[in-house]
């Protein structure tokens, strides 16, 4: 059974003095202690799952105020979970992310693959059911353009 511990106090624990956990996350209780999975962990798994899909060039960071981002600022943890927003409630959740897609891929197929991979990975690793994955494709990446830009830069360096 999963509990949203920032909102739902777990009453069946045998502990008399509870220690505050300084991160937002999902908790499950056993008679010998609680298990807490931080929101950042879910955000990071979702981000890695998205990047595993061919056709995803990169994730777009700074989507604004995110729950995982907020947790990171509070705990001063690293920021690799950025670009993915995760909202969790009672064992289920929603993921929002923005990506740059490679030019030439079917965005519909890539988005579908991202969605399924995120749901599978998060379920397998945390037991949390992701009900909704919202994907926004904000830009396309053109490999040839990038190469040309690099060539141009190299030329400029040679001249200078």
Smaller CB distance to another protein: residue 91 or 142? 91
Contacting residues toward another protein, per CB under 8 A:
14-17, 19, 21-23, 25, 28, 30-38, 40-41, 44-45, 48-49, 75-78, 121, 124-127
Smaller CB distance to another protein: residue 15 or 152? 15
Least distance (Å) between residue 18 CB and another protein: 9
Least distance (Å) between residue 158 CB and another protein: 34
Least distance (Å) between residue 141 CB and another protein: 22
Smaller CB distance to another protein: residue 124 or 152? 124
Query: What angle (nearest 5°) sits at the alpha carbon of residue 81, between those of residues 76 and 85?
Result: 110
Six-digit token string for 136: 């926004």
Smaller CB distance to another protein: residue 104 or 127? 127
Q: Which residue has the tokens 């950025």?
A: 82
Least distance (Å) between residue 155 CB and another protein: 34
Smaller CB distance to another protein: residue 23 or 140? 23
């Amino acid at each position: 059974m999963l509990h949203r511990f920032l909102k739902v106090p777990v009453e069946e624990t045998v502990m008399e003095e509870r220690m505050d956990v300084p991160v937002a996350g999902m908790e499950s209780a056993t008679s010998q202690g609680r298990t807490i999975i931080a929101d950042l962990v879910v955000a990071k798994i979702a981000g890695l799952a998205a990047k595993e899909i061919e056709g995803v060039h990169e994730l777009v960071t700074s989507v604004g105020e995110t729950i995982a981002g907020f947790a990171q600022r509070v705990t001063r943890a690293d920021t690799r979970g950025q670009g993915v927003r995760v909202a969790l409630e009672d064992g289920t959740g929603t993921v929002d992310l923005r990506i740059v897609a490679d030019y030439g891929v079917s965005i519909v197929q890539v988005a579908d693959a991202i969605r399924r991979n995120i749901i599978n990975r998060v379920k397998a690793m945390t037991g949390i059911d992701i009900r909704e994955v919202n994907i926004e494709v904000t830009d396309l990446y053109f490999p040839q353009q990038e190469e040309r830009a690099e060539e141009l830069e190299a030329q400029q360096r040679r001249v200078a």
